[in-house]
Chains A and B, each alone.
Chain A
Amino acid sequence: MSKELQKIAQQLSPLERSIVPHLEKPLPEIKKETGLDQTSISRALQFLQNKGLLEIKKTTEKTIQLGTNGLYYKKNHLPERRLTTALETKNHQPIQEAKKATKLSDNEFKAALGVLQKKALLQLKNGKLSLQASKEELSKKTLEEQFIDTLPLPEKDLAPEQTLAYETLKKRKEMVETKETAQTSFTLTDSGKELLANPKLLTETKDLIEDITTDVIKTWNRNKQLRAYDIHAPVPKLHASKRHFVNQAIEYGKRIWLDLGFEEMTGPKVDSSFWVFDALFTAQDHPVRDLQDTFFIKDVQAELPKKETTTKVKQAHETGIAGSKGWQYSWSPEEAKRPALRPHTTNLSARTLAKLKPEDLPKKFFTINKDFRNETVDWSHGFEFYQTEGIVVHPDITLRDLLGYLKLYYKKMGFENIRFTPAYFPYTEPSVEIHVYHPEKKTWLEFGGAGMFRPEVTAPLFGKPIPVLAWGQGFDRTIMDAHQIKDLREMYSNNLNQLRSKKIWLT
C-alpha cells in the first residue's frame, strides 16, 4: 500500500469519509444511502477528484418538453383538431362560420388552415371549407398529437416519426422547447479502487481530530492526531474593504510632494473666471473660455477679489505690466465674474500666489485634485479628471529646477524614460510639455504641461515679478498605467466587484 494513499486517507474530511464507502454505487443510490443533499455530494465528489480518487464526468443532455403553447394545447387540443372537430359536426361550412365555431384567434385559425391544407385533409372552395378525409382517418391522433402526449423525451432517443413531428412543431410558436440538463457521473481511479479495497485505511484514520476545540486543547496528549487538510482546496471568497484605488494613488502622489517639502493647497472647485483665467493672463477671447470647453455655471455670479489685485490684472491684460505689452484689448470685469468648474487646479496656485508675501519665501505648494472640462466621454477623455499641480516660488529658481522636479516626480511614479519639449500656455513662459515613452506603443505620450509663470501673472498677484515654477500633470494616466486600465471610464465606474478585487497601491 502506498504512502501516498495513506496520506490521502488522513486528509479525508468527514463529508468525504461519509460517501467513500458507497462509491461503487450509482449516484442516486449514494444520495439515498448517505442522506446527503445534492450540493454536499457534488462538493464531496469534487474534493475526492482533487485528491485523485475519482474522475467526474459531466455530460449535458437535451430534453424536449412542451412550451407554453404546447402545454395549453395539450389540454385544449391543437387548433387543427378543433377545426376538424368543428367541420365533423358540420361539413362544407363558410370559412367565417367555421372560425366562429372553433373559437380560435386569427393566428390560431390561420395555423390550423395551414396545417390541414398541407396534409391535404382540407379544401377551401368558394369560401367554404370541406374535409377531405374519412371519419376514421380523422379520428386517429396525428403524429404531432402523439408526440405531444409522450413529452418530455430525451432528444437523442427520438424515433424517426417523432423527429418528423418535432421538426414540424418546432416551427410553431412556443409549442416545444429543449432544456439542457447536466448529468454527472464518475469513475474511480486506481487509487480510488485501492482505497475501497482497503477499508482498514478508512477505519484507521476515522478518529483523527477535525476541529481544534477548546476541549481538544484542554485534553491534548501525544496520542492524539489531527486530520491533515487538503491545503489546495478552494475556499469561499472574502471581500476586503479598501480605500478607492484612485484615492490610494493620490495618497502616494501626495507623499512625493510632502517628502520634497511642499505644502498642500486646497480651494474652490467652482471659481470665478478671474481666478481660473484672468489672473492666469488668459485673454478674455481665448477659445478655452468658450462654453464648448469649460463648464460655466448657470444663474450664479461671482465677485471679483480686492480692487488692488483686480486693477493690476486688468492692467496686465490691457496695456501690460512689468515690461510687457499686454494683450491690448479692453478687459471686462463682467466676463471675469462668470463662475466655472475649474478646468485646471491652477486657480489654487494663483490664489496662493496672491496670499504670499516676500518674507514667506521660499515656498513650495502642491495639490492633487479634480478638474472639469466640457468633454464627451470616451476611453481617453472624461469630463472630470485629476491633476497634480505644483508651484515653487523663489527668486533664484530656474527652468533647470523645473525639469528636475518633474523628472523626480515621474521617476517616483515609475516612469524613467521621459522627455521635455517646448509648449505653449498663456500663463507660462518658457513652457514645457512632458512626454512619457510608451514601450508597447513605441511612441511618446503627452502626460502634462509645465512652465514658469509669466511676469504678467506674478506681478499682479505677488506685487512684483518673481520666478515661479508651475506644473499641472494629468494624474489619471499614471493611475491607469499602474492598474493596467485601458479605458478611462473604468477609473470612475465604481464597479464594486472591481473595487473589491483591485490590488492595493504598494509603494
Chain B
Amino acid sequence: MANVTFPRKAFEKEVKLTPQVIERIPFFSTPLESLTPDEIELEIFPDRPDLLSMQGYLRGLKAFLGKETGLKEYKTKSSGEKLKVDKSLPKEWPYAYACIVKNLKFDDDRIKEIIDLQEKLGATLLRRRKKGGLGLYPLEKITFPITFKGLDPNKINFRPLEGPKELTGRQILSRHPTGRAYGHLVEDWPKFPIFVDAKGVIMSMPPIINSHEVGKIDETTTSVFLEVTGTDPLTLQKALSIMVTTLADLGGTIETIECTQQTGEKQNIPDLTPQKNKLSLENTNKLLGLDLKEKDLAPLLAKMGHDYKNGSVKSPAWRTDILHEVDLIEDVAIAYGYDTFVPQIPDISTVGQEDPQEVFHTRLANLLTGLNLTELNTFHLIKLEEADRMGTKDTIETEESKTDYKLLRSDLLTPALRILQENKNADYPQNLFEIGTVFEKAGGVGRRSEQGAMRRNSKQAHEAPFGGGDTSSETGVKETEILQITLTPSNFTEAKQHLDTLFQALDLHYDLEETEHEHLVPGRTGLIKVDNTEIGHIGEAHPRILKAWGLKFPVASITLNLDELFKLIKG
C-alpha cells in the first residue's frame, strides 16, 4: 500500500478539484485519503504504480473524467548511444536498461517529485529494491558508451551521493545511510554491480547509491541518463517506462539507448510499444452482468487510457497489471462506474448447511449458559510468561510478533486464569466457559496435554464434506476444538456436579479414572472417559499455579476434547 501526496496548486492547474471531481476520485480506484488547502493525499494500489507520480496520476484521472481519453503515445528518437551489460556481474543482479531524456527544466520541487517517484517505485514495484533499482544522472557528466559490470567491492572506490569522501564499495554499506538501509541486499555477493562510463568513471553502485560527482541532478540539469537494473526484465522495463513518461509529461523528449544484455540480445530502450490484448464483448458482459454493445467498449476503454478496435485492445507499455482479459474487463467496469451497477440477488437455489460440529458447539454453549456460566472469547495467542507460569513446554511460537502475545495457546485454562486475574474486582462466583481452538505441533512427542492424552484416538476430526477435517499432517500443526469450564471459588465436587449435568444432557455415560495433570492437584484429578475413549480432565487447579497468577480463591476446571466428543455423539 502506498500513499502519495501531491501539491494541490500544481494539481489543480491540470484538474480542478470541484466537489464532482472529488466525489469521482475513489471510483477511479484511488481512495482519497485527505484533502487540505495545500495538498491532496491518495492511496495508490500496487497494481497501478504508473499512478505514483502526479503526472502519471493526472494522465489517468483526466482520461477517466473524459478529457484526453485513449491511449497516450510518446515519441522517441534514437540517441545513437550504447549500454553494454557485462558478464562479470553477480548472478543475482543480471539486467540493466537505460535511456536519455532531454530538454528538462528542473527546480527544487521538480527534483523532489522525481526523487519521490524513484523512491516509491523502488519501494513498491521494485519490492524495496529487492527486484531492482532506478538511477538518474546529469547527461553532461558522463561519456558513452556505458558499461554495467561487476567488481570486487574492495576495489570499488567513489564518493557516494551526499557523502563527505571516497569510500570503497564495502565501506559504503556500513558508513553511508543508504548503504546501511539496503546493504543487506548485496553484502553476500562476491562482486558488486557498478555503472562505469567510457572514461572509466564509476557512476553508481546499484541498487545502493549513485556517485556524488556524476550521479547528482540539480536545477542546472537539463538532460538525464536514466537507468534501471535488477532481477526481472519485465518489471525493470515497466519501472523505466513509468519514470520516463513522467519526465516526458514534464516536457522532456525521450531518446533511446541501444542496450546489449549478457546474452547478446540488443534492444532500443525505452520500448514504449503498446501492449496488445484481446477482449471479448461476450466475456465482458458475462463477468459484469451488463448488456454492453460493441460500440460501448471503445469509449469505456478510452476512459482508462486504452484504444479498442474489433476485439483488440492497445494498452500503454507502462501498465503492469494486465495479465489476463479480466484485467481489461475490470477497467471497463471502472469506466462504467462501480456506482452505476445495479446490485441483484441471483436466482440460484442452494441448501444452507451449518457445520454439524459448530451446531453441536452452539447447543453446548446454550446448555452451559443455562448452568449459569459466562462465556469467554479469548485470544489464540498467549504471552511467554503465561506459558512459564503454567509450566507449558513445547509451545508453538510466532515469528517476530509485535506484541507480548507470541505463543499459540495449547489449552484454554491459561487464558481463563488470565481473565480471572484481570477481574478480581468483579462479583464472585466467577463461573466461566470457553469453546475454542488449541494448538500443538503435529506428531510431537506428547506431554500429557489436553490433546496429547487423546492423540492415539484421533482419526479424522469429522466428516463434513467442506469442513476442515484433520489437516495437521499437512499444516504441521494439530488444531483441536476444546471446551474449558473454569469455576471459582469452587472445588472438585462442584466441578463434578457440572460434569454430571452436562453428560446427562448429552445422554452419555462417562467414567472417571484417577490420573495426574500438571495443572491440577494430585489426588483430586480425574481422566474423563467415554467407552474407553479419553476425552478430558476434571480437577482442582494446583495452588502453585493459582499463586503464580496471584489468584486468591480455589479454581475447579473441566477440559473436554470436543472433536472426540462430537465423534462419539455422531456414533
Residues on A with beta carbons closer than 8 Å to the beta carbon of B365: 243, 247
Residues on A with beta carbons closer than 8 Å to the beta carbon of B408: 270, 297, 341
Other-chain contact of B376, A244, A260, A268 (Cβ < 8 Å): A244
Complexed CA–CA distance, A396 and B346 (Å): 9
Other-chain contact of A269, B333, B373, B476, B479 (Cβ < 8 Å): B479
Q: Establish whether residues A376 and B352, one from each chain, have CB atoms under 8 Å apart when the complex forms.
A: no
Other-chain contact of B475, A298, A302, A392, A500 (Cβ < 8 Å): A302
Given A298-B398, A302-B475, A397-B346, A263–B466 Cβ distance below 8 Å? Answer: yes
Q: Establish whether residues A430 and B288, one from each chain, have CB atoms under 8 Å apart when the complex forms.
A: yes
Residues on B with beta carbons closer than 8 Å to the beta carbon of A295: 398-399, 401
Asked if A323 lies at the interface with its beta carbon under 8 angstroms from chain B, I say yes
Asked if A394 lies at the interface with its beta carbon under 8 angstroms from chain B, I say yes
Most buried by B among A243, A322, A325, A494: A494
Interface bits A307-346 vs B (CB < 8 Å: 1, else 0): 0000000000000101111111100000000010100000
- Shortest CB–CB separation between residue B270 and chain A, in angstroms? 19
Complexed CA–CA distance, A404 and B349 (Å): 15
Residues on B with beta carbons closer than 8 Å to the beta carbon of A419: 338-339
Asked if A424 lies at the interface with its beta carbon under 8 angstroms from chain B, I say yes
Most buried by B among A244, A301, A364, A435: A244
Given A408-B345, A424-B47, A429–B377 Cβ distance below 8 Å? Answer: no
- Shortest CB–CB separation between residue A285 and chain B, in angstroms? 5
- Shortest CB–CB separation between residue A492 and chain B, in angstroms? 6
Most buried by A among B339, B341, B405: B341
Other-chain contact of B354, A239, A258, A324 (Cβ < 8 Å): A258
Residues on B with beta carbons closer than 8 Å to the beta carbon of A246: 377
Complexed CA–CA distance, A42 and B403 (Å): 50
Q: Establish whether residues A430 and B330, one from each chain, have CB atoms under 8 Å apart when the complex forms.
A: yes
- Shortest CB–CB separation between residue A280 and chain B, in angstroms? 14
Asked if A241 lies at the interface with its beta carbon under 8 angstroms from chain B, I say yes
> Which of chain A's residues 413-472 have a Cβ closer than 8 Å to chain B?
419-424, 429-433, 435, 444, 446, 452, 454-456, 467
- Shortest CB–CB separation between residue B207 and chain A, in angstroms? 15
Given A303-B474, A320-B323, A251–B362 Cβ distance below 8 Å? Answer: yes
Given A406-B343, A430-B329, A500-B374, A302–B476 Cβ distance below 8 Å? Answer: yes
Nearest to B431 among chain A residues (CB) is: A241
Residues on B with beta carbons closer than 8 Å to the beta carbon of A389: none
- Shortest CB–CB separation between residue B565 and chain A, in angstroms? 16
Residues on A with beta carbons closer than 8 Å to the beta carbon of B48: 424
Interface bits B122-138 vs A (CB < 8 Å: 1, else 0): 00000110110000000
Other-chain contact of A270, B334, B465, B477 (Cβ < 8 Å): B477
Residues on B with beta carbons closer than 8 Å to the beta carbon of A259: 352
Nearest to B366 among chain A residues (CB) is: A243
Give the interface segment out of B25-33, B86-94, B505-513, B523-531. B25-33
Q: Establish whether residues B326 and A455, one from each chain, have CB atoms under 8 Å apart when the complex forms.
A: yes
Q: Establish whether residues B398 and A374, one from each chain, have CB atoms under 8 Å apart when the complex forms.
A: yes
> Which of chain A's residues 263-281 have a Cβ closer than 8 Å to chain B?
263-272
Given A258-B352, A262-B350, A298-B398, A401–B345 Cβ distance below 8 Å? Answer: yes
Given A262-B352, A454-B326, A500-B374, A328–B232 Cβ distance below 8 Å? Answer: yes
Given A429-B324, A452-B287, A421–B27 Cβ distance below 8 Å? Answer: yes
Give the interface segment out of B70-78, B96-104, B422-430. B422-430
Q: Establish whether residues A264 and B354, one from each chain, have CB atoms under 8 Å apart when the complex forms.
A: yes
Residues on B with beta carbons closer than 8 Å to the beta carbon of A300: 396, 441, 476-477
Q: Establish whether residues A400 and B342, one from each chain, have CB atoms under 8 Å apart when the complex forms.
A: yes
Residues on B with beta carbons closer than 8 Å to the beta carbon of A285: 127, 130-131
Asked if A352 lies at the interface with its beta carbon under 8 angstroms from chain B, I say yes
Asked if B484 lies at the interface with its beta carbon under 8 angstroms from chain A, I say no
Nearest to A281 among chain B residues (CB) is: B323
Interface bits B342-360 vs A (CB < 8 Å: 1, else 0): 1111101111111101100
- Shortest CB–CB separation between residue A115 and chain B, in angstroms? 44
Asked if B21 lies at the interface with its beta carbon under 8 angstroms from chain A, I say no
> Which of chain B's residues 20-77 have a Cβ closer than 8 Å to chain A?
26-29, 31, 45-48
Can you name 19 A-B residue pairings with CB atoms under 8 Å? A243-B365, A263-B350, A285-B131, A302-B476, A324-B324, A351-B468, A374-B401, A383-B403, A397-B346, A403-B343, A429-B326, A430-B288, A430-B326, A452-B326, A494-B377, A496-B426, A497-B426, A499-B375, A499-B376
User: Which residues of B are at the interface with A, using a C-beta cutoff of 8 A?
Assistant: 26-29, 31, 45-48, 127-128, 130-131, 232, 234, 286-290, 323-327, 329-330, 333-334, 338-339, 341-346, 348-355, 357-358, 362, 365-366, 369, 371-381, 396-403, 405, 408, 419, 422-423, 425-427, 430-431, 437, 439, 441, 464-468, 471, 473-477, 479
